[in-house]
Amino acid sequence: MDMATNASLKPRYQATLAVINVARPVVEVLQQCFRQCRIDTQASSPSVEQLQTSAFDACAIRLDAGAEAYLQALRAADGNRRCLVYGFGSIEEALRLSEYGVNCLFEGGAGADAIAREVENTYLLLLRQLRRYVRLPLITGMKAVTSHRGTLTGVTREISGGGLSAYAVEGLAVADTAQLLLGLPGLSGLEIPAVVCWCLETQRTTGFQFRPCNDRLRLKAWIDGYLGME
């Protein structure tokens, strides 16, 4: 996204943004990226108690030792079930907190380009234009059990009813098959057969297409429920 493009467009949507231990310059970049999508964000730094009683459209949070209390309070509130969580930290921290539904992860010193890409990929969710959105960004651990490479571990990036993209599941090629093992917030023990449909080696990212099975239907129902489309 070009940060200068459409800078004069008047925002069409007002959104609330909870900011938890994220540096102000980073928050300003995030807000500017939303503005390019015609979304004006009102940022505040709520307490744990306020997260339980106030609704937020998005949350920018540092994934540190104190993040769990904030995320637990956020997800405990019915109004924040579909709040988009933008996490700043390591993959290890995101996986530790995966039960709370971290949607996007910025590792290290996230630059404006990385933030802009994630905002552009997720703003339709914030606008609740759910039926136009077919991929749900979600960070969670997974395993790919293969016949020729053993069991590979990775991290999901996006999930849909038809497949997922994963980071760091390496050594596979297009048309390879695998049994994917993963769990989502409130839905554990999924085992879904899949085939590799694309690989981006430079980004260490692999795309899987699901094959028909009961757990695929369970996953689709979970996504529909998460998006409020059940």
DSSP designation for 17:
E
pLDDT of residue 46: 97
Residues 26, 111 share a domain: yes
pLDDT of residue 230: 55
pLDDT of residue 162: 93
| Residue 118 in domain | yes
Average the pLDDT over 170-180 and give the result.
Answer: 94
Residues 160, 77 share a domain: no
Structural domains of the chain, count: 2
User: To the nearest whole number, what is the mean pLDDT of the chain?
Assistant: 89
Residues 154, 82 share a domain: no
Distance CA 179, CA 94 (A): 23
Residues 156, 170 share a domain: yes
Q: Which domain holds residue 175?
A: 137-227
Instruction: Show which of 83, 106, 132 is a domain's final residue.
Output: 132
Residues 119, 223 share a domain: no
pLDDT tens digits for 27-86?
999 999 999 999 999 999 999 999 999 999 999 999 999 999 999 999 999 889 889 999
| Residue 4 in domain | no
pLDDT tens digits for 9-18?
566 899 999 9
pLDDT of residue 7: 47
| Residue 154 in domain | yes
